[in-house]
Amino acid sequence: MNLKIGSITSASAAGIGNQALLASLQSGQTGLVKRPFGESAPLSTYIGVVDELEDLVLPTELTAYDCRNNRLAYLAMQQDGFIDAARDLVARHGGRRVGVFIGTSTSGIQQTELAYRQMVAAQGEHLPRWYNYDLTHNNNSAPKLVAEVTGATGMCHAVSTACSSSAKVFANAWRAIKAGFCDAAIVGGVDTLCLTTLFGFNSLQLISDDICRPCDRDRTGISIGEAAGFAIVEPGDGGVMTLQGFGESSDAYHMSSPHPDGLGAYDSMAGALAMAGLTPDDIDYVNLHGTGTKANDLAESRAVCRLFEQSLPCSSTKGWTGHTLGAAGILEAAVSALVLNHGLLPVSLNTRELDEHIKADVILGENKNVEVRRVLSNSFGFGGSNCSLVMGV
């Protein structure tokens, strides 16, 4: 069973909505900036920040959901006619037959950071009365928000598998539809900047002082970004693009490092091809997970070369957006839709000289313009949680 993706949109530092994201990809303009976020001044790093969130106010009826994460989710839903498309989906299938599947890694944890900061400053013993864990920090707060905005009243599901979260929502929706729990679904993901993420990745020595340079010889780590994105899916072919297959695997190797030979990554990609009934020759482009860390980029290159040999164009788009963690899968699905519909193969932005150990055919120098029939997009998370999507037109 294929899934028709009838509408897709996103909001990130590289652009709010599809046209803005396309313009950034075409112009080679990164969304990353070197500046602090909140109290992160001790860190010297680039971030992918969505400045529009500072002035965004949720509608009165959604005020209880107010936090940075849900403001970003609402901002993304307002783009490209997505809310109207989702409400039309609900009208056609009935609210109880439309499921909601949203990926996130830290959800609205920044709201909890703010609550604790206020409590400590006041030398109090209790969190402030405005703090609402259930509708802001809880992983299920964004799915509830999406369900309330769109009118979907079917199963409402949060997926939190680190950086593969919002790729796995497509697989979860596919299984729910296949099992008869729903007829169609709204899928997506959202993750926002917060101190927990910035200092947490810094403690793992994965934050770079330099801008994200995927696969570069001198890469030193990741730049963290924030993003949200959404899509509507139902059985069939067509729409913006078609989900033809997905693959999931677990490295079962290390809590934060990938298997050095990319064994889990290979299984994930091979599984997606097998489900789609395709061979490696049927894929025209791979959107790499490509975080810019030494371990990830090399392991993924080994997996790609083992499956596709060395002749398939591939690149990471994290030089534009930063690593948006639990939102990376849906954001890069939105990038894949632009690749398929505009024949644009994005360059590996900020990569100056390819690591000599990386043998994959990473696109360097400038974008390529070619006809693209199918894209494979990778999302690999901590703990070796891997997901690959095959999408075509």
Active site residues: 163, 289, 323
User: Tokens 């005020």 label which residue?
Assistant: 63
Radius of gyration of the chain (CA): 20
Tokens of 124: 């109090």
Q: What is the DSSP letter of 265?
A: H
Written as one letter, the residue type at 98 is: V
Cα–Cα–Cα angle for 377, 46, 322, rounded to 5 degrees: 10
Tokens of 279: 């061979």
User: Is residue 166 within 8 Å of residue 328, measured between CB atoms?
Assistant: yes
**H or E element at residue 203:** helix 195-203
Q: Please, what's the largest Cα pairwise distance for the chain?
A: 63
For helices 141-150 and 82-93, the axis angle rounded to 10 degrees is 70
Specify which residues 354 forms β-bridges with: 216
User: Is residue 326 within 8 Å of residue 106, measured between CB atoms?
Assistant: yes
Cβ neighbour number for residue 343 with a 10 Å cutoff: 13
Count Cβ atoms within 10 A of the Cβ of residue 61 and give its class: 0-12 exposed, 13-18 middle, 19 or more buried: exposed
Q: Cα–Cα distance between 40 and 248 in angstroms, integer? A: 35
3-state secondary structure of 247: strand
User: Is residue 208 within 8 Å of residue 294, measured between CB atoms?
Assistant: no
DSSP state letters, 129-179:
TT--IIIIISTTHHHHHHHHHHT--S-EEEE--GGGHHHHHHHHHHHHHHH
